[in-house]
A = this chain, B = another copy of it.
Amino acid sequence: SNIRNLPMEKLASTMMFPCKYSQSGCAAQLLYTDKPDHEDSCEYKPYSCPCPGSSCKWYGPLEQVMNHLMLQHKSITTLQGEDIVFLATDINLSGAVDWVMIQSCYSHHFMLVLEKQEKFHGHQQFFAVVQLIGSHKQADSFIYRLELNGHRRRLTWEATPRSIHEGVQSAINTSDCLVFDTHIAQLFADNGNLGINVTISPV
């Protein structure tokens, strides 16, 4: 029916509802209108597998994410240190490709992602971004820097890491990451391999 029940609407607009993750520990009570936003970023929402472009359907609590990666995604390399080189090999491979590695520093694990895709016909682009294997709040206390170094040229992007809770796709969709095209990639690549300097710092 299109007839609006104003008293009911009024009542609903003032009632408080529990978060749908209350069973996992969330104590939040929310107005109906605030529920979707809260639940989308609720810290008790289970974490999905952070591997980009993977068809992995795993999800679980934050504490088990690294364990899952070690067991199910054994090919992912881990490097120790706050200042490392993320080497993407064969960047000229055609089609949508993802390069992933893990950087461990400051008692945290960060997942580095380089994604190649064609958002616009005939225009392949690379998107590089860092996500913390941790909560949004934890991610806020770090900053990452991605740097391409070439012959008398340097391209640098600095930003707050994403949390794997939100993932990297929204950052890639809105270009809120290091974006460069195949021309730029060629300027900085060596024999089809691209080294990205990654530095993580506490804020």
Contacts and interface: CB of A to CB of B under 8 A. Distances in A.
Interface of A: 119-123, 143, 152-160, 174-176, 179-181, 183-184, 187
Contact of A175 (B156, B157, B184): B184
Contact of A121 (B121, B158, B159, B174): B121
Give how many copies assemble into the complex. 2
17 contacts: A119-B123, A120-B120, A120-B121, A120-B122, A152-B159, A152-B160, A153-B159, A153-B160, A153-B176, A154-B157, A154-B159, A155-B158, A174-B183, A175-B181, A175-B183, A179-B180, A179-B181
Nearest to A152: B160
Contact of A157 (B123, B143, B155, B158): B155
A164 to B, nearest CB: 18
A176 B180 contact: no
A178 to B, nearest CB: 8
A66 B91 CA distance: 43
A126 B156 CA distance: 17
Nearest to A176: B187
A13 B2 CA distance: 88
Contacts of A153: 157-160, 176
A179 B174 CA distance: 15
Contacts of A176: 153, 183-184, 187
3 nearest CB pairs, A to B: A175-B183, A156-B156, A154-B158
A156 B197 CA distance: 14
A115 to B, nearest CB: 16
Contacts of A122: 120
Contact of A152 (B143, B156, B179): B143
A120 B158 CA distance: 27
Nearest to A148: B157
Contacts of A154: 156-159
